[in-house]
Amino acid sequence: MISSLAEIEALAKAAEPVTTAIIAPEDHEFMLAVKDARNRRLIEPVLIGRRAVIEKAAGKINYDLNTTPIIEVTDRQKIANTAMEMLSSGEVEMVSKGQISTSYVYRAIIARMKARQEEAVISVQTFWDIIGCDHLVLLTDTGANISPDESEKRAILNNALQVMPLLGYSCPKVMELVSDSTNLKDKHKHFKLAKTPVIKDSKGCSYQRLEAQVLKKVLLGEHGDSVNLNSLPHIMLMPDLNTGNVIAKLDFLIKEIVRVSCSYTSMGPVLLPSRADIAEGIMREFIFGVALVAQRRRLSND
């Protein structure tokens, strides 16, 4: 079981470079991460977007693009579509979003999933490496579904259950976050999975459900006097986008947390760095994506 981002980095360093379609790398900070990742032989980038803007961003950081392929596409949706088609066909093993609205990327993913006749519920998985916790914690969905209903939550969970075995979590503990206030007053539109049967993915990977719906009960244990972060579940299902978005980025306030995010699909990982991320954070996402691809390769070889 991979328990930290340091272990993820070791996996990534040992891997062969991953061909990566980069969607609209039009900002020097982002380009800096691409350059660094390429220099460290983590990725082989294929840049997709407006050539002039890409070259300008590269020029700012002295990135020589002579040996980096650029596919010129100007329409925003077509840029995202091109990257996803390359991922679907196996031409690249990973996709990363650059300076483009995430909605274009979501639409491109959904279009490819539909073309492949797959369940078209995309979700964003945010991983936390927390000091004092002996495992990684996956929060989902932190970016795509505004107010997921029960079937969407199952799909979100299934997406999470696809990625966790890659990190060695064959039977992850899952917790659906529900605040204890939801019983207090009006019954807000809030869908719980608690009464649905245990979900298994296509490979028969099941998960243990934690009975407690209130996080603090889990963290504090029976005696309720001290916090044990090792009790955190491996997967935390977010109630909705409002919560997922706020919680996923608490690393800005909590220094003990390091965050990486992606949208893992059957085609491979799609990295979704925030426009707010600086090169260091974007680099962390590249490393994470490369490690996931390395694990996919290993599993398919096995």
Contact track, other proteins, 8-47, x by CB under 8 A: ---------------------x------------------
Helix (H, G, I), strand (E, B) or coil at 139: strand
Nearest to 21 by CA among 71, 101, 92: 92
Angle at 142 between CA 279 and CA 16, to 5 degrees: 45
- 251 cis-preceded (ω within 30 degrees of 0): no
DSSP class of residue 230 equals G
Among the listed ranges 37-45, 63-71, 81-89, 272-280, the one in contact with other proteins (CB under 8 A) is: 272-280
Among the listed ranges 18-26, 70-78, 274-282, 287-295, the one in contact with other proteins (CB under 8 A) is: 274-282
CB of 87 to other proteins, least distance (A): 25
Q: Crossing angle for the helix pair 28-39 and 279-301, nearest 10 degrees?
A: 40
Contact track, other proteins, 230-259, x by CB under 8 A: ---------xxxxx-xxx-xx-xxx-xx--
Nearest to 3 by CA among 179, 138, 115, 192: 138
Helix (H, G, I), strand (E, B) or coil at 227: coil
Span 82-141, contacts to other proteins by CB under 8 A? 130
> Of 203, 278, 280, 299, which lies in the binding site for other proteins, with binding defined by CB under 8 A?
278
> Of 115, 275, 298, 299, which lies in the binding site for other proteins, with binding defined by CB under 8 A?
275
**77-88: b or e for each residue (b if 16 or more CB lie within 10 Å)?**
bebbbbbbbbbb
CB of 114 to other proteins, least distance (A): 21
Among the listed ranges 85-93, 111-119, 158-166, 214-222, the one in contact with other proteins (CB under 8 A) is: 214-222
Q: Does 180 bind other proteins (CB under 8 A)?
A: yes
> Of 215, 260, 272, 293, which lies in the binding site for other proteins, with binding defined by CB under 8 A?
215
CB of 79 to other proteins, least distance (A): 20
DSSP bridge partners of 235: 138, 174
Who contacts 259 (Cβ-Cβ below 8 Å, separation ≥6)? 126, 127, 128, 129, 248, 249, 251, 281
Q: Does 177 bind other proteins (CB under 8 A)?
A: yes
Q: Does 216 bind other proteins (CB under 8 A)?
A: yes
- Return the C-alpha torsion angle 97, 100, 104, 110, nearest 10: 10
The footprint of other proteins (CB under 8 A) covers 29, 130, 143, 146, 177-186, 188-190, 215-216, 219-220, 224-225, 227, 229, 239-243, 245-247, 249-250, 252-254, 256-257, 274-278
